[in-house]
């Protein structure tokens, strides 16, 4: 279910649950549109230490089949904490195109 | 039924035990009280099979209660003054998430200057958090109202958190005989929570997550309606409590000697008992005075107040806190409730007893003298120490 569909299911007070409970995953809400800098991972420097994943405040890092981190760009807000914490300096922040 | 001679704090603790609370969370250091200390003893001795979560702040204590409550546990915590203020953000969370947390609060003055004595400034500051709020007059009322609070909070038409407050020292540390209902009586009155409205393991859901401007208002209106429904539900619950235990404390705005009264004083908490004695004296002298107690501050007893005001000429409000830049909160609430009515009695606000200054029969006499004369300013700080003639 997309965000758009959720809003159409609930139009007036009577449609809403009594408590603000949602049964679809928050993954449906993309929260990264205002990012200014995006993290880019240089795989040749990455040691798969997972420190970036550990420090990401928004669960915006997952792993590929080989164990390398992948930025989930629908959720990453570009805070650069991963780049700051990355010991081998494998993450650089690149300005988004206008 | 057993009669124990206990403090207001222990009255809260015994009520929580009788309610079979399942999760208690508390920050154990100042300004915490013996309420949760006694509950800790109940848990340690095995008398109360509850999970007791010690946390690093009142903010976390309330969060722990909200989370446990969302999963269906009957939860309880207690605090006072600065601790209550630190909880403020989470108080909004408890009502917004519709979790029926019950909390005991000892009314204490807010610092600085530092104080540990009775004042309603701490709880009045939480007025707009969406909590149903009661002010107790006796240890018995505190115990009974706390038991009612669980059923009210968990009622399907309400589902809001409830705060039961008691005045520092006058109740919190003063022992009085208190009838303790039997466990069988309380079990009949207060069944286990209905898990229909709680989060369910195995069914992932999000509670309290993001909502846009298109639906936020509607969620707030649901809380507003639940608070309105709580008026009727509370009266039904208190009637059921009376059926089982033989005790009732008179609804949201109990009155005393108001028959034929032309002048009424409105009080909150323990000052009420003192004022009753003065009303008795003045009645003997032929003065047509009466008393009404704001037992509930939220929901505010608007209809009860309008009915009372329709037949009187003067109403005094005794405020044990002050809203800087306005007046005492009870006064502004009473004035707001009465303005839309055709008969508007003269209103006077008396601010007294801040920071635990005693409200004695003399204080109440002074208030009635001014009120009966109908003179003076709109707001009077009764008993203020000053070189000026009028405070």
Cα–Cα distances in angstroms (integers) from residue B153 to residues A46, B130, B223, B363, in the given order:
53, 12, 12, 36
How many A/B residue pairs have CB atoms within 8 Å?
Answer: 47
Band of pLDDT at residue B211, cut at 50, 70 and 90: confident
User: Does B223 contact chain A (CB < 8 Å)?
Assistant: no
Do A20 and B96 count as a contact with CB atoms less than 8 A apart? yes
Contact B101, B77 (CB under 8 A): yes
pLDDT in tens, B109-121: 999 999 999 999 9
Query: A20 vs B197: CB contact, 8 Å cut-off?
Result: no
Domain A3-95 has CATH 3.30.70.20: yes
Q: Average per-residue pLDDT in chain B? A: 96
pLDDT of A7 higher than 60: no
Q: What is the pLDDT averaged over residues A55-65?
A: 96
Instruction: Indicate if the pLDDT at residue A4 is higher than 50.
Output: no
B322-334 mean pLDDT: 97
Quote ipTM for the complex. Answer: 0.86
Question: B231 to chain A, minimum CA–CA distance in Å?
Answer: 18
Is the pLDDT at A6 greater than 60? The verdict is: no
Contacts of B168 (CB under 8 A, 6+ apart): B80, B106, B107, B108, B116, B117, B118, B119, B356
- Count of H helices and E strands in chain A? 3, 5
The CATH number of domain B2-245, selected from 3.20.20.150, 1.10.260.40, 3.40.50.970, 3.40.228.10 = 3.40.50.970
**Cβ contact A19–B197 (<8 Å):** yes
Weakest mean pLDDT among B168-182, B292-306, B373-387? B373-387
Residues 134-163 of chain B whose Cβ lies under 8 A from any Cβ of chain A: 159
Task: Name the segment(s) of chain B with CATH classification 3.40.50.920.
Answer: 255-381
Could you tell me the pLDDT band of residue B94, with boundaries at 50, 70 and 90? Answer: very high
DSSP B250-317: -SSS-EES-TT-SEEEEE-TTHHHHHHHHHHHHHHTT--EEEEE--EEES--HHHHHHHHTT-SEEEE
Q: From the list A16, A19, A29, which residue is nearest B218 (CB)? A: A16
Segment (H or E) for B102: strand B102-107
A53: exposed, middle or buried (C-beta count within 10 Å: 0-12, 13-18, 19+)? middle
Q: Give every CB contact of residue B105 below 8 A, 6+ residues apart in sequence.
A: B78, B79, B80, B84, B122, B123, B163, B164, B165, B166
B205/A10 touch (CB, cutoff 8 Å), yes or no: no
Domain ranges of chain A: 3-95
Give me the pLDDT at residue B376, please.
Answer: 80
CA-based nearest distance A97→chain B, Å: 28
* pLDDT digits 0-9 by tens, B11-39: 999 999 999 999 999 999 989 999 999 99
Predicted confidence band at A8 (pLDDT cuts at 50, 70, 90)? low
Measured between beta carbons, which residues in chain A are less than 8 angstroms from residue B214?
7
Listed residue (B336, B343, B277) closest to B308, CA to CA: B343
Establish if B207 touches chain A: CB-CB under 8 angstroms: yes
Residues of B whose CB is below 8 A from A23: 203-206
For residues B239 and B248, give the distance between their C-alpha atoms in angstroms, rounded to a whole number.
7
Query: What local confidence, expressed as pLDDT, does residue B390 receive?
Result: 57
Q: Does any CB of chain B come closer than 8 Å to the CB of residue A7?
A: yes
Cβ-proximal residues to B77 (8 Å cutoff; 6+ apart), any chain = B24, B25, B26, B36, B61, B62, B64, B65, B101, B103, B104
Question: Using one digit for the tens of pLDDT, what is the confidence trace for B268-297?
Answer: 999 999 999 999 999 999 999 999 999 999
Are B96 and A26 in contact (CB < 8 Å)? no
Do residue A13 and residue B207 have CB atoms under 8 angstroms apart? no
pTM of the prediction?
0.92
Q: How far is A24 from chain B (nearest CA, A)?
A: 7
Contact criterion met (CB below 8 Å) for B161 and B95: yes
CA distance A73 to chain B (A): 20
CB contact under 8 A, A21 and B222: no
Contact call for A20 and B218, based on CB within 8 A: no
The beta-carbon neighbor of B206 closest among A12, A18, A26 is A26
Residue pair B52/B13 in contact (Cβ under 8 Å)? The answer is no
| A6 → chain B, closest CA residue | B211
Pick from B70, B59, B58: which is nearest to B23 by CA?
B70
User: What is the tens place of the pLDDT at every residue in B76-90?
Assistant: 999 999 999 999 999
Query: CATH for B255-381?
Result: 3.40.50.920
- pLDDT reported for residue A26: 79
- Nearest partner of B232 among B330, B331, B144, B132, judged by Cα: B132
Nearest CB to B209 within list A7, A18, A22? A22
Q: How far apart are the first and last CA of chain B?
A: 49
Q: Does A9 touch chain B (CB under 8 A)?
A: no
Which residues on chain B are in Cβ contact (under 8 Å) with A7?
212, 214-215
Return d(Cα A89, Cα B272) in angstroms, integer.
Answer: 69
Q: Which residues of A touch B197 (CB under 8 A)?
A: 18-19
* pLDDT score for A5: 43
Contact A22 B206 (CB under 8 A): yes
């Amino acid at each position: 279910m997309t965000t758009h569909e959720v809003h159409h299911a609930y139009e007036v007070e009577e449609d809403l649950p009594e408590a603000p409970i949602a049964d679809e995953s928050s993954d449906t809400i993309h929260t990264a549109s205002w990012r200014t800098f995006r993290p880019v991972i240089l795989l040749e420097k990455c040691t798969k230490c997972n420190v970036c994943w550990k420090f990401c405040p928004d669960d915006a890092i997952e792993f590929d089949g080989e164990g390398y981190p992948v930025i989930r760009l629908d959720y990453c807000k570009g805070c650069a904490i991963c780049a700051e914490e990355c010991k081998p300096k494998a993450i650089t922040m690149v300005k988004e195109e206008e | 039924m057993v009669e124990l001679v206990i403090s207001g704090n222990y009255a809260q603790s015994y009520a929580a035990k009788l309610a079979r609370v399942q999760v208690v969370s508390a920050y154990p250091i100042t300004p915490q009280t013996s309420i949760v200390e006694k509950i800790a003893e109940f848990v340690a001795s095995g008398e109360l099979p509850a999970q007791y979560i010690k946390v690093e702040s009142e903010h976390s204590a309330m969060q722990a209660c909200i989370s446990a409550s969302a999963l269906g546990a009957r939860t309880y915590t207690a605090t006072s003054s600065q601790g209550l203020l630190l909880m403020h953000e989470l108080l909004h969370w408890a009502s917004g998430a519709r979790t029926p947390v019950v909390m005991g609060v000892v009314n204490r003055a807010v610092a600085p200057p530092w104080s540990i004595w009775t004042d309603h400034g701490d709880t009045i500051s939480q007025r707009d958090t969406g909590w149903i709020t009661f002010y107790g007059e006796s240890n018995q009322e505190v115990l009974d109202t706390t038991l009612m609070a669980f059923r009210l909070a968990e009622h399907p038409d309400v589902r809001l958190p409830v705060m039961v407050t008691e005045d520092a020292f006058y109740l919190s540390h003063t022992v009085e005989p208190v009838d303790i209902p039997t466990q069988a009586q309380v079990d009949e009155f207060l069944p286990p929570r209905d898990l229909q409205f709680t989060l369910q393991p195995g069914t992932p859901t999000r509670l309290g997550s993001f909502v846009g401007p298109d639906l936020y208002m509607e969620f707030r209106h649901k809380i507003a309606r639940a608070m309105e429904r709580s008026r009727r539900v509370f009266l039904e619950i208190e009637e059921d409590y009376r059926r089982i235990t033989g005790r009732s404390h008179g609804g949201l705005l109990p009155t005393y000697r108001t028959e034929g009264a032309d002048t009424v004083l409105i009080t909150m908490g323990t000052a009420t008992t003192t004022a009753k004695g003065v009303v008795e004296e003045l009645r003997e002298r032929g003065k047509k005075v009466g008393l009404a107690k704001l037992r509930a501050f939220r929901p505010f007893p608007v209809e009860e107040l309008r009915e009372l005001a329709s037949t009187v000429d003067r109403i005094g409000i005794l405020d044990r806190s002050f809203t800087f830049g306005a007046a005492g909160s009870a006064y502004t609430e009473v004035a707001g409730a009465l303005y839309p009515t055709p008969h508007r009695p003269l209103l006077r606000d008396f601010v007294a007893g801040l920071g635990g200054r005693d409200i004695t029969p003399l204080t109440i006499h002074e208030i009635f003298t001014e009120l009966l004369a109908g003179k003076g300013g709109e707001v009077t700080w009764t008993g203020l120490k000053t070189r000026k003639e009028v405070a």
